Amino acid sequence: MNFNLAEVQGFISGFDDFLIQLGATLGMFTFALMIYVLLTPHKELSLIREGNASAALAFGGIILGLAIPLGACLAHSFGLVDLVIWGSVTLLLQLIAFRFVDFILHGLPRRIAEGDVAAALVVVSAKIGIGLIMAGALSDPSLTMFN
């Protein structure tokens, strides 16, 4: 196997930035999950431990719904400050959107606690859909394509 010295030097010089940005993104992701757990009227983690598939689906939706736009932030950021600004805005909007979806679907906490998989699938779809839309918006946050 033949290594190009420039490739190895590029890896070495960029590895610390990679770790910093990855750490910041994982920190924001973990913080947003904790906030979501606190905002949720039903205790999804307890329900998951009890084997409630509906709660597991709903929580899986939040994981993906938060990770998708954060991944887009990471891919499109110009540095750590840019990443943290757009990542924070995205997470805040995601949490607001998720609360709105939870509010629209009446009786959702009770339905999830009772194991209503159909309600959980709708919530998962909404959360992932919102995440994908948000990720798309992050591809050109300054809207330069409209100038």
Name the maximum alpha-carbon separation found in the chain: 61
pLDDT tens, the chain, 147 aa long:
566 788 878 878 888 888 999 999 999 999 999 998 888 777 888 999 999 999 999 899 999 999 999 999 888 888 889 889 988 998 888 888 877 877 787 788 788 889 999 988 988 998 899 899 988 888 765 655 545
Taking the model in full, what pTM does it have?
0.81
Q: Is residue 11 part of a domain?
A: no
Q: Is residue 97 part of a domain?
A: yes
Q: Is residue 14 part of a domain?
A: no
Q: Is residue 16 part of a domain?
A: no
Expressed as residue numbers, the domain containing 61 is: 33-146
- Quote the CA–CA distance of 58 and 117 in Å, as a whole number: 9
List the structure tokens of 137. 């918006």
Q: Is residue 19 part of a domain?
A: no
Structural contact between residues 86 and 140, judged by C-beta atoms closer than 8 angstroms:
no
Query: What is the number of structural domains in the chain?
Result: 1
- The DSSP letter of residue 1 is -
